[in-house]
């Protein structure tokens, strides 16, 4: 595919109004052709106007048409998978084979959401029939369905250039809900973003949908993101990235004349707790597996297990040795951007300055933005005294926390802020302690894993990728999985409507055969 570098505003290719940029190959620190257009508030306004004009028609498409559209996007992505992965590899330093798997995950999500749309459960249809004879006051007919919230702005993530980017789960779930989408492409992978955006736009055109269903913009600095959040036609925002960036968008959205939701997925250290019997029986195995998962994506994953907590005792030395061995043998690998690499080095210094001891390091870096793995250790008392030690370091490092007893382990668990996940490794004899751990962990995370690791995550109906602040800005929702569609929906009740005027899913006789709650049954 020939890359043009243009912005895609509805059906139009739009050139630069705010200068251009080139992608950077982080492995060589060299720019990659072509130049990519940068836009600003003018392009945002055009995209938002088109999205608003398209919304009424698109949100009222039949479920069959919308599902077919999502499947068409998946087919288009399948056709460009190899090209997309190759370009993403150039722009991120990640292996092409890994990125082809990520592209397959993206197409799978679009097909999964097509199935969600066809089955219609996301509409949450409810009917309370009229009761004209009810005393002391008759009841009118009430019917409810969920509808799309409006045009939404989606900020592409840096660390997964496909599955959390232009063709990621946010886009798939928003389009499935019936929302129109303006995608702000991440500047770390502009070529991969254009390939994905063209696949989506072609599906819009092939399915005969209004051009404003999808647009992709790009800009330098914060101005274009601020313009998206500020635009009065935008009704929701999604963001995956740092706590600083997510909260800046959140606060800005609350200062609007009409505040809107910002669904920000921000920071998590995904703590792992090894309980005593599991430590005695499997300490080395767990330690090796922990570091293996920590190193995925060069430690640049939101579900990276970053902190491991264990009681000093039988199996602890084997655990430390296995972790140290795996870390010391890990080759340095290219990180996503020079900025992320610089922040990683700063984070390592901060951990050491806060009192953690460096236990092991990986092989020496050979390129400018190579991430060298590191393992630190600290005792529970110091960990509890220094909040900085529980902060996320985005990159291939981990912290081993050695606690004295069960009481200190529980205090450490209670010290964590909101997390995307927490993990317990346990055996039968550990169940009493596990039961004591569960309540504090339930209050602090959206997902608890037993005898496995938080990464990778299955994308399904029971998936939860969310948690209390600062993991996310709204713990009531997940940003991954089939129920992530709920972020883009709101309820509407229809009272006293003639059948012919009702939305088709709510009409008498249930013409679409969808699941409905009727008079509470």
| Helix, strand or coil, per DSSP, at residue 250 | helix
With b for 16 or more beta-carbon neighbours within 10 A and e for fewer, the 50-65 pattern comes to bbbbbbeebbebebee
User: What's the gap between Cα 487 and its chain centre?
Assistant: 13
> Residue 280 class from Cβ within 10 Å (0-12 exposed, 13-18 middle, 19+ buried)?
middle
**């060069």: which residue's tokens?**
298
Which of the residues 302, 377, 392, 408 is marked catalytic?
302
Alpha carbon distance 71, 59 (integer Å): 17
Contacts of 176 (CB under 8 A, 6+ apart): 66, 70, 113, 114, 116, 117, 122, 485
**Catalytic site includes residue 265:** yes
Strand blocks (E) in 164-231: 181-184, 214-217
Alpha carbon distance 310, 409 (integer Å): 7
Residue 353, number of CB atoms within 10 A of its CB: 10
| Helix, strand or coil, per DSSP, at residue 333 | strand
Residue 407, number of CB atoms within 10 A of its CB: 10
From the list 40, 18, 50, 19, the residue with the least C-alpha distance to 182 is: 50
Task: Output the DSSP codes for 105-131.
Answer: HHHHHHHHHHHHHHH-GGG--EEE--B
From the list 145, 167, 165, 144, the residue with the least C-alpha distance to 155 is: 165
Question: Is there a cis peptide before residue 269, judged by omega within 30 degrees of 0?
Answer: no
352 Rama class: left (phi>0) / alpha (psi -120 to 50) / beta: alpha
**Residue positions counted in the chain:** 521
Which of the residues 265, 377, 392, 408 is marked catalytic?
265
**């606060």: which residue's tokens?**
251
Alpha carbon distance 400, 337 (integer Å): 27
**Catalytic site includes residue 207:** no
Q: Under a CB-based contact definition with an 8 Å cutoff, are residues 36 and 21 in contact?
A: yes
Q: Under a CB-based contact definition with an 8 Å cutoff, are residues 254 and 230 in contact?
A: no
Question: Is there a cis peptide before residue 483, judged by omega within 30 degrees of 0?
Answer: no
Alpha carbon distance 238, 152 (integer Å): 8
C-alpha to C-alpha distances, 376 to 334, 340, 373, 409, nearest whole angstrom: 21, 20, 10, 18
CA distance between the termini of the chain: 53
Residues identified as active-site = 265, 302
């Amino acid at each position: 595919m020939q890359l043009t570098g243009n912005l895609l505003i509805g059906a139009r290719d739009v050139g630069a109004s705010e200068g251009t940029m080139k992608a950077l190959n982080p492995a060589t620190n060299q720019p990659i052709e072509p130049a990519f257009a940068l836009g600003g508030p003018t392009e945002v306004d055009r995209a938002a106007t088109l999205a608003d004009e398209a919304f009424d028609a698109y949100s009222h498409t039949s479920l069959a048409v919308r599902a077919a559209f999502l499947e068409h996007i998946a087919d288009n992505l399948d056709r460009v998978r190899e090209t997309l992965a190759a370009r993403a590899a150039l722009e991120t330093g990640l292996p092409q084979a890994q990125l082809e798997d990520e592209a397959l995950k993206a197409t799978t999500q679009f097909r999964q959401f097509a199935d969600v749309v066809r089955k219609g459960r996301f509409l949450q249809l409810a009917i309370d029939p009229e009761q004209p004879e009810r005393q002391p006051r008759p009841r009118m007919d009430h019917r409810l369905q969920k509808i799309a919230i409006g045009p939404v702005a989606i900020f592409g993530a840096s660390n997964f250039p496909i599955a959390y980017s232009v063709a990621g789960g946010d886009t798939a779930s928003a389009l499935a809900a019936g929302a129109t989408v303006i995608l702000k492409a991440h500047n770390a992978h502009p070529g991969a973003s254009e390939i994905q955006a063209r696949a989506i736009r072609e599906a819009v055109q092939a399915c005969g949908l209004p051009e404003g269903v999808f647009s992709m913009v790009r800009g330098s600095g914060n101005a274009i993101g601020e313009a998206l959040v500020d635009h009065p036609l935008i009704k929701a925002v999604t963001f995956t990235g740092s706590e600083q960036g997510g909260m800046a968008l959140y606060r800005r959205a609350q200062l609007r004349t009409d505040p809107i939701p910002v669904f920000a997925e921000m920071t998590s250290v995904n703590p792992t707790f090894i309980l005593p019997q599991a430590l005695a029986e499997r300490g080395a195995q767990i330690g090796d597996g922990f570091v293996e998962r920590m190193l995925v994506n060069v430690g640049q994953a939101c579900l990276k297990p970053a902190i491991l907590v264990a009681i000093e005792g039988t199996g602890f030395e084997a655990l430390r040795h296995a972790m140290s061995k795996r870390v010391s043998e890990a080759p340095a690998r290219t990180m996503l951007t020079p900025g992320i690499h610089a922040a990683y080095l700063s984070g390592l210094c901060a951990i050491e300055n806060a009192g953690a001891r460096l236990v092991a390091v990986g092989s020496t870096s050979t390129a400018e933005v190579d991430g060298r793995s590191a393992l630190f250790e600290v005792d529970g008392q110091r960990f509890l005294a220094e909040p900085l030690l529980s902060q996320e370091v985005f990159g291939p490092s981990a912290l081993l926390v050695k606690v004295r007893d069960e009481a200190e382990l529980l205090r450490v668990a209670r010290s964590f802020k909101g997390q995307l996940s927490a993990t317990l490794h346990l055996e039968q004899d550990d169940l009493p302690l596990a039961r004591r751990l569960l309540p504090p962990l339930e209050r602090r995370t959206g997902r608890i894993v037993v005898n496995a690791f938080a990464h990778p995550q299955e994308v399904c109906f029971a998936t939860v990728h969310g948690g209390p602040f600062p993991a996310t800005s709204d713990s009531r929702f997940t940003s991954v999985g089939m129920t992530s569609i709920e972020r883009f929906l709101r309820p509407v009740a229809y009272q006293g409507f003639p059948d012919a005027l009702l939305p088709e899913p709510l009409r008498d006789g249930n013409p679409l055969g969808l699941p409905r709650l009727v008079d509470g049954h």
